[in-house]
């Protein structure tokens, strides 16, 4: 791994670090070390990083801003590529915008609202990157990424790059083709928005921000919603009905504000969170005969 790290540094692809603690790169502030951590400073740097990884036959995976992610206490084998600064370019052409996968979603929603463009108001307060939002079809307030994505530039597991149309992304509730059928990451996306009245768009964005602030526990490190909603039910409502608000395992606690959030209250470990997730799933199955499936992605060494 040191040889690969040295080659990447020589190529000046971006930040390259051995044994980087991933707790510093997740919103839950949990996670062990990556064997090798790379944050490319450009799409070209990313492409060259993938080329060298393939030549060395090393495992790799990508992360964005680390929301909706639970990383094992034992870290991640191989190379972790972070799509961040350097992969956050933004180009605007009328109501169509091209944006890098590392662009913060909240910032993007704010920037385009000031330009009088509508379509991302739902993203107010969602603490992820554009690439992660496309990957999981992030959404809220009866809208999601599938409503505005025109096409996505995707890096696949085999190291190939390809543009996929909206139809080819096979979006559904909190899922896309990139999760299981064709595992990959969104490096860049073209979004088709609508022109609107700037003040109305900004007001809607602020309303959604305020709603999140009032109903979700961002005063503690967390990963966002833990479970997918088992429609027509809502995970948070079922967990609250089961009397699990405030239930704690180690340093991980079911939020007292919103029951579909688990917060890192007291130096929680990934194992604490996993044990709490399992406890919730068992209780909900026993009480309501409903299977809860995680929305948060659980990755890393067992």
Cα–Cα distance between 288 and 46 in angstroms, integer?
A: 46
Q: Which helix (H) or strand (E) holds 281?
A: helix 270-288
- DSSP state for residue 275 in the 8-state scheme: H
Determine contact, residues 49/38, Cβ cutoff 8 Å: yes
Q: 200: alpha, beta or left, given left = phi > 0 and alpha = psi -120 to 50?
A: alpha
Cα–Cα distance between 289 and 275 in angstroms, integer?
A: 20
SS (H, E, C) 82-139: ECCCCCCCEEEECCEEEEECCCEHHHHHHHHHHCCEECCHHHCCCCCEHHHHHHHCCE
176 catalytic per annotation: no
Q: 67: how many CB neighbours lie within 10 A of its CB?
A: 23
174 catalytic per annotation: yes
165 catalytic per annotation: no
Q: Which of these is catalytic: 67, 118, 225, 255?
A: 225
Q: Which of these is catalytic: 174, 182, 212, 228?
A: 174
Cα–Cα distance between 98 and 243 in angstroms, integer?
A: 45
Report, as residue numbers or ranges, the catalytic residues: 174, 225, 295
């Amino acid at each position: 791994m040191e040889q690969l790290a040295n080659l990447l540094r020589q190529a000046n692809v971006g930040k390259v670090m051995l044994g980087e603690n991933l707790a510093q790169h997740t919103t839950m502030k949990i996670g062990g070390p990556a064997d090798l951590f790379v944050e490319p400073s450009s799409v070209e740097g990313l492409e060259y990083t993938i080329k060298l990884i393939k030549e060395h036959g090393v495992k790799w995976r990508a992360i964005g801003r680390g929301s909706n992610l639970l990383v094992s206490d034992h870290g991640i084998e191989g190379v972790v590529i972070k799509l961040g600064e350097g992969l956050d370019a933004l180009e605007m052409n009328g109501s169509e915008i091209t944006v890098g996968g590392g662009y913060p979603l909240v910032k993007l929603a704010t920037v385009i609202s000031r330009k009088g463009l509508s379509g991302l108001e739902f993203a107010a307060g969602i603490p992820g990157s554009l690439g992660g939002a496309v990957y999981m079809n992030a959404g809220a307030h009866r809208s999601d990424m599938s409503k505005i994505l025109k096409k996505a530039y995707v890096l696949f597991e085999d190291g190939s790059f390809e543009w996929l149309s909206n139809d080819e992304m096979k979006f559904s509730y909190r899922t896309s083709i990139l999760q299981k059928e064709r595992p990959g990451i969104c490096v860049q996306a073209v979004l088709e928005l609508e022109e609107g009245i700037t003040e109305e768009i900004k007001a809607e964005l602020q309303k959604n921000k305020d709603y999140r602030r009032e109903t979700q526990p961002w005063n503690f490190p967390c990963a966002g919603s833990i479970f997918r909603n088992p429609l027509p039910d809502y995970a948070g409502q079922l967990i609250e009905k089961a009397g699990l608000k405030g239930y704690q395992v180690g340093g991980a606690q079911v939020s007292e504000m919103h029951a579909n959030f688990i917060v890192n209250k007291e130096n929680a470990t990934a194992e604490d969170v996993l044990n709490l997730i399992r406890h919730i799933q068992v209780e909900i199955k026993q009480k309501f005969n409903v299977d809860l499936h995680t929305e948060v992605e659980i990755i890393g060494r067992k």
